[in-house]
């Protein structure tokens, strides 16, 4: 439970002066600064915000540190629909929030990319065996409250038109928070001469570190196999998680699934030379390990979740789970940047130039501590990220070897 009367607000010194941030508005109906996203990116400077109103837009290429914010909320109407394949590369950070995208490629980013409450539909990749979200050499990717669907195979004769992966991360780090990744559906043959294919993988990791909390990874439906001109069985469903040379930490609320109602063939995890740590209840049994892979199931891990959307003045519930009796702190801040706090691991999110909230909490092991946080209503905060983490220095955790147990960093991106 939360310790009463223990909320301390620490005002930190303002950081050095930085160039003023500019907000650019994109509106397909002509009510903004630009009709398309790309012209706004072209004139924007590092640190600027691009606010995208509802409408349909062409894909974009960005090589600057920007925040692009759309109107996406639960219900998904209206939407800012970015068609085709967009790319972000060669920058030191990026934020996307409230958008619907066809597909997205991230590459060579020395910093953190946040994708919050977006949908990636694979609409631009039908019949193409390419991940809907493809990240390579990205220092840190935070995927929060986002849905990613892999491309489905085309009906027809070409076996290359197989189901695709929802997301692939290579040579980087990933946190998946309150998100759903679904592999594409397998290819069904046009007739008895056509080729079918298995369902697509939800998440593929290659030489990457990942923490997954409160999320669903679901393999795609397997295609139908025809025998003697009758459709008599299904190909294997896609694998929720496939890894090579990686390290994966599963925290609370993770679901690894195969698509319902199909053959169910195939494993839940296929890991090669990978360290898997399941730090929550109900570890999966259908895990295929090869090479130097290991699978460790523990219990009592720490995790944090922030459900819902971000609307001005809305009260949000921040929920933390921890072993019974564990003492720790919940840390809340805006304008977050990596910092250090004495006695804790070195990568807590520490606010610079805005209030930092430190809330003492006690893990109950059953009912989780909850803190209600009211979001500010200032329009100038559109695109601002609020960061939350939990620290339990007495809990030995696979996250940091016992120096202080940290939940995933959970970003809240404000959209008005």
Structural domain boundaries in the chain: 122-298, 308-413
Whole-number Å distance between alpha carbons of 173 and 177: 13
Average pLDDT, the chain: 74
Higher pLDDT, 269 or 225: 269
Q: How far apart (Å, rounded) are the C-alpha atoms in residues 406 and 393?
A: 9
Question: Could you tell me the pLDDT band of residue 7, with boundaries at 50, 70 and 90?
Answer: very low
What does residue 364 show for φ and ψ, rounded to 5 degrees?
-105, -20
Neighbours of 41 (CB within 10 A): 21
The 8-class DSSP code of residue 19 comes to: P
Most confident range, picked from 50-59, 233-242, 325-334, 405-414? 50-59
Q: How many CB atoms lie within 10 A of CB 267?
A: 20
Output 85 or 129, whichever has higher pLDDT: 85
Residue that is written with structure tokens 């790309």 in the block: 38
Q: Among 23-37, 79-93, 177-191, 268-282, where is mean pLDDT lowest?
A: 177-191
DSSP bridge partners of 25: 51
Q: Which of 262, 258, 263 shows the shortest CA–CA distance to 241?
A: 258
pLDDT at residue 78 above 90?
Answer: no
Supply the pLDDT for residue 200: 85
Closest to 202 measured CA to CA, from 251, 155, 267: 267
pLDDT of residue 123: 74
Topology of domain 308-413, CATH: Immunoglobulin-like (2.60.40)
Tell whether the model's pLDDT for residue 280 goes beyond 90: no
If you ran DSSP here, which 8-state letter would residue 75 be given? T
Average pLDDT value for residue range 273-292: 84
């Amino acid at each position: 439970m939360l310790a009463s009367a223990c909320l301390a607000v620490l005002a930190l010194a303002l950081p050095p002066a930085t160039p003023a941030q500019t907000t650019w508005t994109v509106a397909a109906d002509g009510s903004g600064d630009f009709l398309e996203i790309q012209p706004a990116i072209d004139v924007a400077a590092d640190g600027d915000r691009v606010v995208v109103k509802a409408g349909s837009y062409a894909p974009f290429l960005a090589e600057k540190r920007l925040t692009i914010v759309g109107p996406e909320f639960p219900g998904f109407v209206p939407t800012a629909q970015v068609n085709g394949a967009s790319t972000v590369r060669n920058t030191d950070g990026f934020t996307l929030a409230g958008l619907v995208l066809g597909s997205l490629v991230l590459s060579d980013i020395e910093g953190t990319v946040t994708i919050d409450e977006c949908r990636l539909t694979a609409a631009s990749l039908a019949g193409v065996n390419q991940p809907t979200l493809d990240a390579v050499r990205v220092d840190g990717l935070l995927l929060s409250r986002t849905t990613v669907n892999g491309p489905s195979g085309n009906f027809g004769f070409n076996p290359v038109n197989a189901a695709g992966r929802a997301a692939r991360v290579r040579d980087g780090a990933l946190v998946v928070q309150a998100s759903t990744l679904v592999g594409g559906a397998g290819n069904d043959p046009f007739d008895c001469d056509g080729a079918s294919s298995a369902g697509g993988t939800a998440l593929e990791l290659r030489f990457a570190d990942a923490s997954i909390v409160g999320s669903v990874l679901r393999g795609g439906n397997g295609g139908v196999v025809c025998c003697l001109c009758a459709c008599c069985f299904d190909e294997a469903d896609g694998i929720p998680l496939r890894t090579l040379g990686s390290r994966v930490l599963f925290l609370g609320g993770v679901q690894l699934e195969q698509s319902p109602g199909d053959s169910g063939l195939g494993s839940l995890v296929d890991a090669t030379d990978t360290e898997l740590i399941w730090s929550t209840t109900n570890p999966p049994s259908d895990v295929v390990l090869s090479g130097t892979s290991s699978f460790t199931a523990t219990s009592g891990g720490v995790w944090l979740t922030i459900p819902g959307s971000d609307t001005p003045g809305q009260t949000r519930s921040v929920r933390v789970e921890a072993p019974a009796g564990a003492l720790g702190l919940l840390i809340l801040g805006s304008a977050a940047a990596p910092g250090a706090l004495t006695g804790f691991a070195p990568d807590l999110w520490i606010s610079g130039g805005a209030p930092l909230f430190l809330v003492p909490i006690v893990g109950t092991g059953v009912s989780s501590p909850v803190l209600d946080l009211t979001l500010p209503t200032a329009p100038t905060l559109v695109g601002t990220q609020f960061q939350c983490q939990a620290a339990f220095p007495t809990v030995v955790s696979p996250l940091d070897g016992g120096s202080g147990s940290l939940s995933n960093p959970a970003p809240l991106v404000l959209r008005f």
